[in-house]
């Protein structure tokens, strides 16, 4: 099961949510190479809890 916390608050996720992750390790022998871990895109349901945590991001005029 996947959990996402933002500022110690738990986002609501659909039970089948998959978040693709790319994890790369640093090669100490190649100091000029840099890698960054990242996630792919995913969606969260439009619940009151998520809207409050994310600052009503679905409102076009939100800031």
pLDDT tens per residue, range 3-23: 999 999 999 999 989 888 888
Which is nearest to 14 in space by CA: 53, 42, 51?
A: 42
How many independent structural domains does the chain possess?
1
Which is more confidently placed, 31 or 43?
Answer: 43
Q: How many helices, marked H, and strands, marked E, lie in the chain?
A: 1, 4
Question: Mean pLDDT for the chain?
Answer: 83
Residues 58, 51 contacting (CB under 8 angstroms): yes
Measured distance CA(49)–CA(12) in Å, rounded: 7
Provide the token pair at 43: 């969606």
Measured distance CA(30)–CA(28) in Å, rounded: 5
pLDDT at residue 27 above 90?
no
Domain housing 44 = 1-63
pLDDT band at 58 (very low <50, low <70, confident <90, very high): low
Percentage of the chain lying above the pLDDT 70 cut: 86
């Amino acid at each position: 099961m996947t959990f996402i916390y933002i500022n110690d608050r738990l986002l609501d996720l659909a039970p089948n949510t998959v978040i693709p992750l790319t994890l790369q390790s640093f090669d100490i022998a190649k100091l000029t190479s840099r890698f960054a871990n990242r996630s792919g895109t995913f969606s969260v349901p439009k619940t009151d809890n998520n809207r409050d945590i994310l600052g009503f991001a679905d409102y076009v005029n939100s800031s």
